[in-house]
Amino acid sequence: MKTTLRQLGERGLIALLKRRLPRGRDVRIGIGDDCAAVQIGRGAAGRLLLLKTDAVVEGVHFNRRATPFQIGWKAMARPLSDFAAMAGRPRWALVTASLREEMPVRFVREIYRGLASAADKFGVTIVGGETVRTPDRFWLSVALAGEVEPRAMKLRSGAHVNDAIFVTGALGGSIAGKHLKFTPRIAEAQWLARQGCVGAMIDISDGLARDLGHICRESGVSACLAKSAIPIAPAAGGSLRRALRDGEDFELLFTVPSARSAKLKRAWCKKFPRLRLSLIGFILCGKGIRLVDDAGQWQDLDEDGYDHFQAHHA
The footprint of a second copy on residues 255-314 (CB under 8 A) is 308-309
Taking the CB of residue 151, how many other CB atoms lie within 10 A of it?
Answer: 8
Binding residue (CB under 8 A) for a second copy from 15, 30, 271, 279: 30
- Give strand pairing partners of 225: 281, 291
Q: Which is nearer to a second copy, 72 or 281 (CB)?
A: 72
Residue 185 is which amino acid? R
- Say if residues 52 and 109 touch (Cβ distance below 8 Å): no
Taking the CB of residue 109, how many other CB atoms lie within 10 A of it?
Answer: 13
Q: Which is nearer to a second copy, 35 or 277 (CB)?
A: 35
Q: Which is nearer to a second copy, 27 or 285 (CB)?
A: 27
Binding residue (CB under 8 A) for a second copy from 15, 67, 103, 110: 103
Site string for a second copy, 207-246 (x = CB under 8 A): ----------------------------------------
Site residues (CB under 8 A) for a second copy, limited to 138-197: 139, 141, 143, 145, 147
Residue 98 is which amino acid? S
Taking the CB of residue 158, how many other CB atoms lie within 10 A of it?
Answer: 17
Q: At what angle do helices 186-195 and 258-271 cross, to 10 degrees?
A: 140
Q: Which is nearer to a second copy, 49 or 66 (CB)?
A: 49
Q: Closest approach of Cβ 287 to a second copy, in Å? A: 26
Q: From its phi and psi, is residue 156 left (phi > 0), alpha (psi between -120 and 50) or beta?
A: alpha
Binding residue (CB under 8 A) for a second copy from 106, 151, 270, 274: 106
Taking the CB of residue 312, how many other CB atoms lie within 10 A of it?
Answer: 7
Residue 56 is which amino acid? V
Q: Closest approach of Cβ 47 to a second copy, in Å? A: 6
Binding residue (CB under 8 A) for a second copy from 15, 67, 94, 314: 94
- Is 112 an interacting residue with respect to a second copy (CB under 8 A)? yes
Q: Which is nearer to a second copy, 24 or 273 (CB)?
A: 24
Q: Closest approach of Cβ 151 to a second copy, in Å? A: 17
For residue 26, what is the DSSP state?
T
Q: Which is nearer to a second copy, 24 or 296 (CB)?
A: 24
Residues making up the chain, counted from first to last: 314
Q: Which is nearer to a second copy, 91 or 167 (CB)?
A: 91
With CB under 8 A as the rule, give the number of residues binding a second copy: 82
Q: Whole-angstrom Cα distance, residue 102 to residue 227?
A: 50
Site string for a second copy, 40-79 (x = CB under 8 A): xx--xx-x-x-xxxxx-x-xx-------------------
CA max distance for the chain: 60
Q: Whole-angstrom Cα distance, residue 112 to residue 291?
A: 43
Pairing of strands 89-99, 125-133: parallel
